[in-house]
Amino acid sequence: MADIRLQRISKVYHAKSGAARAVDDLTLAAADRELLVLVGPSGCGKTTILRLVAGLEEPSAGDILIGGRNVARVSPKDRDVAMVFQSYALYPHMTVYKNLAFGLKMRGAARGEIVQKIGEVSRLLGIGHLLDRKPESLSGGEQQRVAVGRAIVRRPQVFLFDEPLANLDAGLRVRMRSEFKTLQRDLMTTMIYVTHDQEEAMTLADRMAVLKDGRLQQYGTPLEIYHRPASRFVAGFVGTPMMNFLGGTLEGDGRACWFNGRVGRWRLAMPRAEGLNDHLGRAVVLGIRSDDVHVADRAAVAAAGGAGARGSGSACGTPGGPNDMGADPSTGEPPYPTLEMAVRLVEPLGFCTLVHVATATGEPLVARAGAEFACPPGGCVAVRVDLRRAHLFTADDDGRRIN
């Protein structure tokens, strides 16, 4: 068993078209027996990182430690690492049994040991009935199982998985995802798993690393990243549907902070801490997940004082409300801004309904309603925004979190 540590790793590829920095000064760790998921858009360097750990590429700078041993310049066969490729890379001319046996044979394992280990792995993965078949006669899911079997049969200290579920259809993908999680628990081995699918990353990871352009954007547990994204990029990449973003300015009056945008002027439910003070008067982006934008009873709009959006009025032609949403005089708490919005699209998901709405100024939001929600496009709904769970980011390219 072993932990994996990448210390200030960079990888520059030299191609005819010029140098490409695929990994840029990356420091990252997977603890012993942990499942670390690398996630990010295409080209962010995920596969390169796996290939560096496997020894299929040499880093341009930095160190890679497996179980405390620096392997940055150790050959792949001496790293005790197994990698499963997206293509599965099974030997097409060999039966499943021979595919599973190959790595053990190459390491000089005795016949008895090979038979016993293949027996164990086929039972674990449910592939005992496939041992005499050739890869071409297997379904995608079966090939995937055999590829995993070939990696685990020799019990290396580290497993590396490069998008192993990418070629499967949606249903099988979700099923295999759960199997994967169980397998990792059973094997209790350190794993690095690469995917571009943030939902897969969230469901599988003990910890995940979000990458962009070869650089680490955030590293933490799935829930830490979901609830406290470090930047607008991470906030937009992690979570379905994508977080809503609204542009505006941050204002403060000595007691509280306000978000002032085209959508309205909203008192924020966050203290005027140091971090926010530095941004007063500046352009910011307010992020709010659709989980925190609720479709409410239309009576709530009237109760909250109308549309509540300065300059925007109601999206549905009813009279506008007060210019801004201040503290509730009875409790001193910031209210939930409640606005009347036009429905653009309704997406029933079975367990809930996503309602795409727009303000009078055309700002789009995705809200969440109950499973039974029904409203034709062009209709109107009242939408309540729970600002207690709002995120604030800088409006520049960095999009850094400021609250």
Distance of closest approach, residue 15 Cβ to ligand ATP, in angstroms:
4
Token pair 């830490």 in the structure block, residue = 224
- Mark the segment that binds ligand ATP (CB under 6 A) among 2-10, 44-52, 167-175, 199-207: 44-52
Which of 198, 356, 181, 331 lies closest to 269, judged by CA? Answer: 331
State how far the Cα of 306 lies from the Cα of 318, in Å rounded to an integer.
8
State how far the Cα of 25 lies from the Cα of 330, in Å rounded to an integer.
53
- Of 87 and 137, nearer to ligand ATP (C-beta) is 87
Category of 371 on φ-ψ map: left (φ > 0), alpha (ψ -120 to 50) or beta: alpha
Residue 18 binds to ligand ATP (criterion: CB under 6 A): no
Instruction: List the one residue from 196, 228, 272, 389 that touches ligand ATP (CB under 6 A).
Output: 196
- Of 24 and 292, nearer to ligand ATP (C-beta) is 24
Residue 217 binds to ligand ATP (criterion: CB under 6 A): no
Which of 9, 15, 7, 62 lies closest to 214, judged by CA? Answer: 9
Instruction: List the one residue from 46, 289, 310, 384 that touches ligand ATP (CB under 6 A).
Output: 46
- Identify any residues that bridge with 61 across adjacent strands, giving them in sequence order: 10
Distance of closest approach, residue 20 Cβ to ligand ATP, in angstroms:
4
State how far the Cα of 6 lies from the Cα of 66, in Å rounded to an integer.
9
Q: What mask, x for binding ligand ATP by CB under 6 A, covers residues 23 to 42? A: -----------------x-x
Residue 198 binds to ligand ATP (criterion: CB under 6 A): no
State how far the Cα of 261 lies from the Cα of 360, in Å rounded to an integer.
13
Distance of closest approach, residue 397 Cβ to ligand ATP, in angstroms:
19
- Of 40 and 239, nearer to ligand ATP (C-beta) is 40
Distance of closest approach, residue 165 Cβ to ligand ATP, in angstroms:
13
- Of 49 and 96, nearer to ligand ATP (C-beta) is 49
Which of 193, 223, 221 lies closest to 40, judged by CA? Answer: 193
Residue 91 binds to ligand ATP (criterion: CB under 6 A): no
Count of residues that interact with ligand ATP, criterion CB under 6 A = 13
Distance of closest approach, residue 159 Cβ to ligand ATP, in angstroms:
17
Strand 158-162, strand 190-195: pairing: parallel
State how far the Cα of 276 lies from the Cα of 204, in Å rounded to an integer.
34
- Mark the segment that binds ligand ATP (CB under 6 A) among 45-53, 227-235, 314-322, 352-360: 45-53
Distance of closest approach, residue 361 Cβ to ligand ATP, in angstroms:
37
Instruction: List the one residue from 2, 4, 22, 28 that touches ligand ATP (CB under 6 A).
Output: 22
- Of 47 and 394, nearer to ligand ATP (C-beta) is 47
- Mark the segment that binds ligand ATP (CB under 6 A) among 15-23, 227-235, 285-293, 394-402: 15-23
Distance of closest approach, residue 162 Cβ to ligand ATP, in angstroms:
8
Token pair 């962010």 in the structure block, residue = 44
Distance of closest approach, residue 21 Cβ to ligand ATP, in angstroms:
8
- Of 47 and 122, nearer to ligand ATP (C-beta) is 47
CB 101 within 8 A of CB 114: yes
Distance of closest approach, residue 12 Cβ to ligand ATP, in angstroms:
9
Instruction: List the one residue from 45, 156, 261, 264 that touches ligand ATP (CB under 6 A).
Output: 45
Category of 107 on φ-ψ map: left (φ > 0), alpha (ψ -120 to 50) or beta: alpha
Distance of closest approach, residue 45 Cβ to ligand ATP, in angstroms:
4
Instruction: List the one residue from 6, 30, 39, 44 that touches ligand ATP (CB under 6 A).
Output: 44
State how far the Cα of 144 lies from the Cα of 157, in Å rounded to an integer.
21
Q: Which positions from 153 through 182 interact with ligand ATP, judged by CB under 6 A?
A: none
Interface residue list for ligand ATP (CB under 6 A): 13, 15, 20, 22, 40, 42-48, 196
